[in-house]
Amino acid sequence: MATLPAALGVRVARTSRLAIGTGRGDSPRAKTGRPPASPADFERYLRQLRGYLDGDTVARDGIPSRIEWLDDIDVPHVPIEVSATGPKVIRLAAAVADRICFAVGADVERLRDGVTHARRSAEAAGRAPDTIRLGAYVNCVINDDPAVAREAVRGGVASFAHFSGFPGMRIDELPEGVRKAAETMRTGYDMAHHGAAAGSHAQALDADFIHRFGIAGPLDEARRRLVEIRDLGIDFVRVIPGSRDAPAEVTMASIASLSTLVGGLAGDADGRGVERD
C-alpha cells in the first residue's frame, strides 16, 4: 500500500514517465520458497491496484478502503505495466493494465504471438487495442565477437527463459527451439545463480537458443533484430544489458554501442517510435 501514495505523489508533480510495474512475482517468490501467484490471485491484486489508483473504494477481506486524499487533488492517470509471459497473464493485462511488457526474450515468433493475443484480448474486454502500449524485455550484449557477447548475455537469457518453464506453463505448446530450454529451466534452475552466467542451468543453454532468445553479436545484428522487434508492433523495449556476473568492460562498451541505436529506433514514419527505456 505504501507504494501507491508515493506513485500518486510523483504523478502530482507531473512526472509523465512514471508507471507502476508489476507481475506475478516469479523470482522474488521463488527466492522465498513460494510458487508464483496464481492467475486468479494476480487478477484480484491487479484490479485492486487499479481501483486504489483511480480513487475507487476497494474491498479487501470484506473491508472497504480507499485513498481519501485523492478527493482534494487532481492526479493524472497512473499507468500500470504488467510483465507477462503466458496467455493467461497477457489476457488479464490486456483487460486491466495500460502496458504489457512481454518476458519472452527477443524471440520474434513468440513476440508476434504475444502481440496478437494481447490485441485480441483487449478487444474481447471491450478495449481499443491501440490504447495499450506493448513492450519487450530484451537481453542484449553488443560485441564484435559473438562468443564474447553470448557469454556475457547467457545468465540474463536464462533468467527470462526460466519464466517459460514455470509450473502452469504449457511447455509442450512452446516452439521446438524453446521447449528444451524451458524443460531445463523447470527441472534444473539454480536460484542461487539467478541472472548469472556461472549457473549450471545457464551453461546448459546452447548457442542457437541464446541467439534466438537474446541479442548477442555485432552492432549491425543488434540493429536488425531490434528493428524487427519494433516492426511487430512493439512500442518500447527494456534492455537487460548482460548477466550479473558479466565483465564490466564488456557490458559498459555494449551499453555505449546500444546508445547509438536509440535515435534511429525511436522515430519511424508513423511516429509510433520506441520509448527510450
Residues 93-130: tens digit of each pLDDT:
999 999 999 999 999 999 999 999 999 999 999 999 99
Q: Is residue 160 part of a domain?
A: yes
Judged against a pLDDT cut of 70, whether residue 19 lies above it is answered with yes
Q: How far apart are CA 21 and CA 147, in angstroms?
A: 33
Q: Which residue has the higher pLDDT, 243 or 11?
A: 243
Q: Is residue 130 part of a domain?
A: no
Cell of 38: 496464481
Asked whether the beta carbons of 222 and 140 are under 8 A apart, the reply is: yes
What is the band of 74 on the pLDDT scale with cuts at 50, 70, 90? confident
Can you give the pLDDT at residue 164?
59
Q: Is residue 5 part of a domain?
A: no
Q: For the chain, where are the alpha helices, taking DSSP H only?
A: 3-12, 26-31, 39-53, 87-96, 108-124, 146-164, 176-188, 200-203, 207-213, 219-230, 248-259, 262-266
Whole-number percent of the chain with pLDDT over 90: 51
Cell of 11: 504523478
User: Number of structural domains, the chain?
Assistant: 1
Q: Is residue 230 part of a domain?
A: yes
Query: pLDDT averaged over the chain?
Result: 84
Can you give the pLDDT at residue 268?
52
Q: How far apart are CA 179 and CA 182, in angstroms?
A: 5
Q: Is residue 243 part of a domain?
A: yes
Judged against a pLDDT cut of 80, whether residue 186 lies above it is answered with no
Asked whether the beta carbons of 143 and 242 are under 8 A apart, the reply is: no
Q: Is residue 193 part of a domain?
A: yes
Can you give the pLDDT at residue 79?
92
Judged against a pLDDT cut of 60, whether residue 143 lies above it is answered with yes
Question: Grid coordinates 513476440 are at which residue?
Answer: 111
Judged against a pLDDT cut of 90, whether residue 3 lies above it is answered with no
**Which range marks the domain in which residue 255 is found?**
137-277
Q: Is residue 2 part of a domain?
A: no
Q: Is residue 170 part of a domain?
A: yes
Q: How far apart are CA 83 and CA 166, in angstroms?
A: 14
What is the band of 160 on the pLDDT scale with cuts at 50, 70, 90? confident
pLDDT (tens digit per residue) in 213-239: 999 999 999 999 999 999 999 999 999
